[in-house]
A and B are shown apart, each in its own frame.
Chain A
Amino acid sequence: MDVRERRDKGSAAERRPPPVRQRRDPDVGHYAPPNSGTMPDPGIDREDLGEIVRRAQAGDEEAFRVVYRAVQPGLLRYLRVLVGDDAEDVASEAWGQIARDLQSFSGDGNGFRGWAATIGRHRALDHVRWLRRRPVAAAGIDSLADEPGPDDTERLALDGVSTDRAIALIATLPPDQAEAVLLRVVVGLDAETAAGVLGKRAGAVRTAAHRGLRRLAELLDHADPQQRGFNA
């Protein structure tokens, strides 16, 4: 299938979303138009991000702001699973390092996301041994069960609470699966870049992501009616 071919053969630089792509690029939030609770659409796609990064490297502060807004949400959600409530602090450290080392980066938008995720991951691992301490995970399902979810898909996608619940549910996965799913879906990396962040082979990350998705599907399938936020 074209999806696999694209994954296996294309370089990140050449890999463009297929025309049928409906989902986010996390930059843009294709899922639904922004509402009052979300930030204005920065209006960039993956390729543009690389160009904006270059402008930031040249000293353009507003470009750096756009980069931040494009990358931070996914990064923060990823870090939330790694370090729980400390995610903001770790993200802040990561951005300090990103700012500091910005000149050393070269690559496209996808590469930059991977670079930022790697920095964030290292800061997170430096911060805590998250395998032993995954505070979000424990609370995840409980809080998920607490709130009846809206059955309106659009609202669900826009609802900040449901974003948190979704992240919390992903956090209940085994760590390798959680990371694989988060890097691919939430941070928005392609398979190779996600593998690079994790220091694994792309095939292993793909397998972990697939297992994670199946596990999530099972969790949703067996969820009690109160968890129907994602079951519609």
Chain B
Amino acid sequence: MTGEQFDDVAADRLLDGAPSGPPALARLLAAASAPARRSELAGEESALSAFRLVRDAAPGLAARRPIVHHERPRKFPRRASVRLLVAGGALAAVAAAGGVAVAAGVVPPGPLRILAPGQSGTSSEHTPGHTAGGPSGSGAPSNNGKGPADPTKSNPSETTPANVNGLCHSFQDAAAVDLPAALANPHFSVLVTLAGGASEVQSYCVTIIDGKNQPVQHDGRPTSTPSASVTGQ
């Protein structure tokens, strides 16, 4: 079959997932959307680590404060930072709830913030001001393009949660004795993730302790409206 031999209806059906049009094309689309391969899910633990980090940090931190790593990837070689994030995740996994305990130990102590599946709402109260960020279920194309961009540039002036500050103080104390050991300490893996890499932790903490909540402003980055440069095609 040739490309001319299927019409818009057939094309729409293909796009909707129904077999239609030239068989070879249908097979190609089937292959393109085949079930996940394990290699494609290699980042699962890293993603879960990020999820836990956000969830288990203070609720205010969870909802308000961006993970700095994701705001400034260019400050640090990407692959390295990703590896570190993965490493941080592995460490966090080793430490299990320890990571939470660390945060809780530095901040006003409280129960471990591990939510039962049905237990809801702890952090939704701290939903950031950009609640319209995500597209609604009805598509909302007009919102869609800028939804995720809003959180990126949303709250540059949020205060830094006290637990990060305290953790940074602890880190600096430890780093003064033995920096590599401090960086390797799973207790500080959260800082590695937040800072965007081990090499960034020191400057990150200096900035945090100095009271500047964001070591690097990301306002100037093109993240917010990148689509204009591409959609013209």
Contact = CB atoms under 8 A, between A and B. Distances in A.
Interface of A: 1, 3-4, 6-7, 11-13, 17-18, 20-26, 28-32, 34, 37-39, 41, 50, 55-65, 68-69, 72-74, 76-77, 86, 88-89, 91-93, 95-108, 110-112, 114-115, 118-119, 121-123, 125-127, 129-131, 153, 156-160, 162-163, 165-167, 169-170, 174-176, 181-182, 184-186, 188, 190-193, 195-202, 206, 209-210, 213-218, 220-221, 230-232
B134 A210 contact: no
B36 A92 contact: no
Interface of B: 1-4, 6, 8-9, 11-19, 21-25, 27-44, 46-48, 50-55, 62-63, 66-67, 69-70, 73, 78-79, 82, 85-86, 114-124, 126-128, 130-131, 133-145, 147-149, 151-152, 221-223, 226-231, 233
Contacts of B19: 22-23
A232 B47 contact: no
Contacts, number: 385
A89 to B, nearest CB: 5
B69 A213 contact: no
Contact of B151 (A22, A104, A160): A104
A25 to B, nearest CB: 7
Contacts of A118: 135, 144-145, 147-148
B8 A68 contact: no
Contact of B3 (A98, A119, A181, A215): A215
Contact of B54 (A28, A69, A100, A111): A100
B43 A122 contact: no
A97 B36 contact: no
A202 B138 CA distance: 13
A58 B141 contact: no
Contacts of B118: 58
B133 A157 contact: no
A11 B119 CA distance: 30
A213 B230 contact: no
Contacts of A213: 6, 11, 14-15, 21, 25
Contact of B40 (A72, A114, A127, A176): A72
Contacts of B148: 97, 101, 115, 118-119, 122
Nearest to A153: B27
